[in-house]
């Protein structure tokens, strides 16, 4: 069962995981601000329905992410972000609440943002890394569908990050290139 607007899925097959600030170490620009915050703070929560095993060819996963509002220094809270291990595997994101920025990056590290708001749907090509940023003041809730054989390649993001960050400038979100 789903509650679309609240980002809730219930049933015995649903798995839920929480990402805390501690699990996003090294990803935010302002390390001093990061160190001053509660490492146990919840940044986002994911609920997934995986009807088949991870890695099974041709299956689909279904999930929802609730990304909290907030900032580390001037940088908005965001998901870790990843490439798919199998770069032919695409993904849909459909937003139901909040204001966000979908950051996409190609293999040459060219990075850009696309606005997320209730009613937007994004098709993410398999070769693009993707990360979601909450640029609003309410939880950002978006549903997703992706291939069970897409896989998650986090290492490239952990080592090099994205080519741009989303920060608050004069009270508004701005995309700034990373060094
Ligand atoms: Fe993905």
* 179 confidence band (pLDDT: 50, 70, 90): confident
Ligand 1 mean position to 91 CA, how many Å? 6
Ligand 1 mean position to 118 CA, how many Å? 20
Report the share of the chain in percent with pLDDT over 70: 100
Q: What is the pLDDT of residue 99?
A: 98
Ligand 1 mean position to 116 CA, how many Å? 16
Q: What is the pLDDT of residue 6?
A: 97
Q: Which of 143, 88, 150, 152 is nearest to 121 (CA)?
A: 143
Ligand 1 mean position to 13 CA, how many Å? 20
Separation CA 71–CA 80 (nearest Å): 14
Ligand 1 mean position to 170 CA, how many Å? 31
- Could you read off the pLDDT of 87-101 as tens digits, one per residue? 999 999 999 999 999
**Residues, Cβ < 5 Å to ion ligand 1:** 91
Ligand 1 mean position to 124 CA, how many Å? 8
> pTM score > 0.85 for this model?
yes
Alpha helices for the chain (secondary structure H): 31-35, 155-160
60-81 core/surface letters (b: 16 or more CB in 10 A; e: else): bbbbbbbbbbebbbbbbbbbbb
127-156 core/surface letters (b: 16 or more CB in 10 A; e: else): ebbbbbbbbbeebbbbbbebbbbbbeeeeb
């Amino acid at each position: 069962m789903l509650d679309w607007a609240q980002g809730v899925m219930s049933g015995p097959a649903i798995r839920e995981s929480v990402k805390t600030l501690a699990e996003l170490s090294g990803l935010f620009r302002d390390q001093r601000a990061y160190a001053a915050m509660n490492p146990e703070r919840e940044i986002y929560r994911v609920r997934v329905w995986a009807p088949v095993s991870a890695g099974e060819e041709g299956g689909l996963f279904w999930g929802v992410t609730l990304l909290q509002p907030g900032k580390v220094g001037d940088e908005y809270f965001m998901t870790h972000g990843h490439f798919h291990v199998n770069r032919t595997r695409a993904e849909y994101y459909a937003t139901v609440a909040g204001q966000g920025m979908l950051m996409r990056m190609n293999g040459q590290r060219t990075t850009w943002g696309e606005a997320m708001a209730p009613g937007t749907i994004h098709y993410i090509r398999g070769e693009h890394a993707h990360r979601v940023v909450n640029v609003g003041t309410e939880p950002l809730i978006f549903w997703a569908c992706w291939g069970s054989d897409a896989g998650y390649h986090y290492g490239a993001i952990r080592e090099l990050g994205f080519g741009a960050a989303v920060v608050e400038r004069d009270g508004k979100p701005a995309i700034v290139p990373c060094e």
